[in-house]
C-alpha cells in the first residue's frame, strides 16, 4: 500500500514539473518574441534616422557650410544722420526785395534727422565692425544688430571717405567674427556669397539675407567719382544679387573667408535702381590696409609730397633733346628732399608711364595720380626717358613737410 501511495505521489510531482516546465518555456518564448519585436522597431527607427541624416548631409555643400559659419558675424546697421537742407526763396535774386526785406528773402537753412540702413561684419571678437563710409560715416547715432536680435550702440573709430571704408566698435567680448581671405588670389568664375540687410529685411527675422553668384571680373578700376570724390580701385565684380541695404556687407568665398565688402551696383542708367547682375565689392586686402591706419591714427595719411614740376612735351622740346617721342611730360624742376628727389628723378627726364599707365600729357598724369588714391609710403613705378634711353625708377611717397 505504501508503495502504491509513493508511486502516486511521484507521479503527481512529475506531472506538476512537466506543467511548470511547459509554462516556463511558453513564458520564455513570449519574452523572446517581445525582445525581437522591440529590437526590430529600434533598428527601424535607427534606419529612418540614418536615412534622414543621409538626406540632410546630401543637401549640405560648400555654400551652405560657408553660410552657416559666417552668418553669425554679419550685422545690420541703422544710422541716424543730420541732413542740412536749404530753402531758397524764389525772389532771392531780386535786389529790391533783398534790400528792403533781407530777413524774409534770404536762404533758410534747416536740419533734420534722417535714418539710413546698411550692413556690416565683425572682424574681431572684441567688437570691431567694418562697413562703408556712405553707410555710417556721417552717423550721429549708430545701432548695430546681431543675428538673434541683440543690439549695440556703436561708435566710429575712424572713417575714410575717399576709400568708402568705416571702422566701428561695439562694447562686448567673445563675439563671432569673419576670417579674411586673400583678395589677390581670386579666381574669376569661383563661387561667392553676398550677405547683408537688403531693404531692411534683417529686421523681419534678425538674420542676414544670402545671395549666391560668381566672381565676374577682378581689378575693375572706376577711378575717382565726380559726385562724391571717392576712389574705387581694384574692385571685385560679382553677379551675386546686391541691393539697397547690402552696402557694407561681406562678400565671402566658399571657404567662408571674407574677400570683399559689397559697395555699389551698376544699373546702366542713373534712373534705374534695381540689380541687373553687376555688383562691386572693395577687396579685403585694401580694406585691411585702410582700417589699420584708421585704427592706429584715426585717418589715412594722404599728405604725400611729389616735389616735381612738369610740362607737356612738344615738337620743339623733342628736337632740342634729340628725342622722337611726342607723348609724355618733361620734368622741369625737382624739389630737394621730395619723393621725386629721393627717387633720383632729374630735370629733363621725360615721364612716359606711371604704374604701367601711359602718360600722354600733364592732364593725363594728374588724372592718373588722382585715380590711384595715393598714400604716404606707397611706391610709384615710373618709366622715364633719360638721355635717349628708357629706364624705370621706384618713387616712394614721403610725407609733405610743414
Annotated active-site positions, please? Answer: 134, 164, 247
Q: How far is CA 102 from the centre of its chain?
A: 50
Give the Cα separation of 343 and 169 in Å (integer): 40
Render the burial of 240-274: b for 16+ CB within 10 Å, e for the rest: bbbbebbbbbbbbbbebbbbbbbbbbeeeeeeeee
The residues with which 85 forms a beta bridge, in sequence order, are 110
Q: Three-state SS for 29?
A: helix
Q: How many helices (H) and strands (E) does the chain have?
A: 9, 22
Between the alpha carbon of residue 337 and those of residues 57, 310, 345, the distances in Å are 65, 17, 11
Q: Do the Cβ atoms of 134 and 116 come closer than 8 Å?
A: no
DSSP letters, 320-348, are HHT----SSEEEEEE-TTSHHHHHT--TT
The phi and psi torsions of 136 (rounded to 5 degrees) equal: -125, -5
Amino acid at each position: 500500500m505504501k508503495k502504491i501511495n509513493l508511486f502516486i505521489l511521484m507521479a503527481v510531482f512529475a506531472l506538476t514539473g512537466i506543467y511548470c516546465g511547459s509554462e516556463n518555456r511558453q513564458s520564455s518564448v513570449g519574452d523572446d518574441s517581445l525582445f525581437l519585436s522591440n529590437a526590430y522597431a529600434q533598428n527601424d527607427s535607427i534606419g529612418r534616422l540614418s536615412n534622414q541624416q543621409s538626406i540632410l548631409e546630401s543637401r549640405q555643400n560648400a555654400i551652405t557650410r560657408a553660410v552657416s559659419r559666417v552668418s553669425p558675424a554679419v550685422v545690420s546697421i541703422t544710422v541716424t544722420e543730420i541732413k542740412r537742407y536749404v530753402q531758397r526763396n524764389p525772389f532771392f535774386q531780386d535786389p529790391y526785395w533783398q534790400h528792403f526785406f533781407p530777413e524774409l528773402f534770404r536762404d533758410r537753412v534747416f536740419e533734420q534727422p534722417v535714418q539710413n540702413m546698411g550692413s556690416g561684419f565683425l572682424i574681431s571678437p572684441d567688437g570691431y565692425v567694418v562697413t562703408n563710409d556712405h553707410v555710417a560715416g556721417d552717423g550721429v547715432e549708430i545701432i548695430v544688430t546681431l543675428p538673434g536680435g541683440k543690439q549695440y550702440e556703436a561708435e566710429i573709430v575712424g572713417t575714410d571717405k575717399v576709400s568708402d571704408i568705416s571702422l566701428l566698435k561695439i562694447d562686448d567680448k567673445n563675439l563671432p567674427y569673419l576670417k579674411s581671405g586673400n583678395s589677390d588670389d581670386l579666381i574669376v568664375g569661383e563661387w561667392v556669397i553676398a550677405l547683408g540687410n537688403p531693404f531692411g529685411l534683417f529686421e523681419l527675422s534678425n538674420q542676414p539675407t544670402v545671395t549666391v553668384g560668381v566672381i565676374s571680373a577682378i581689378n575693375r578700376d572706376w577711378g575717382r567719382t565726380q559726385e562724391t570724390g571717392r576712389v574705387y580701385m581694384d574692385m571685385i565684380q560679382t553677379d551675386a544679387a546686391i541691393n539697397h541695404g547690402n552696402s557694407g556687407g561681406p562678400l565671402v568665398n566658399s571657404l567662408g573667408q571674407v574677400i570683399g565688402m559689397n559697395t555699389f551696383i551698376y544699373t546702366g542708367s542713373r534712373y534705374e535702381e534695381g540689380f541687373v547682375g553687376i555688383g562691386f565689392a572693395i577687396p579685403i586686402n585694401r580694406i585691411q590696409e585702410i582700417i589699420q591706419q584708421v585704427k592706429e591714427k584715426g585717418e589715412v595719411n594722404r599728405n604725400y609730397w611729389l616735389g616735381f614740376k612738369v610740362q607737356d612735351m612738344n615738337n620743339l622740346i623733342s628736337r632740342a633733346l634729340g628725342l622722337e617721342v611726342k607723348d609724355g611730360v618733361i620734368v622741369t624742376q625737382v624739389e630737394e628732399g621730395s619723393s621725386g628727389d629721393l627717387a633720383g628723378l632729374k630735370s629733363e627726364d621725360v615721364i612716359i608711364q606711371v604704374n604701367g599707365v601711359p602718360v600722354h600729357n600733364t592732364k593725363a598724369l594728374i588724372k592718373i595720380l588722382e585715380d590711384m588714391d595715393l598714400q604716404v609710403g606707397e611706391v610709384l613705378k615710373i618709366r622715364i626717358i633719360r638721355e635717349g634711353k628708357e629706364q624705370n625708377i621706384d618713387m616712394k611717397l614721403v610725407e609733405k613737410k610743414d
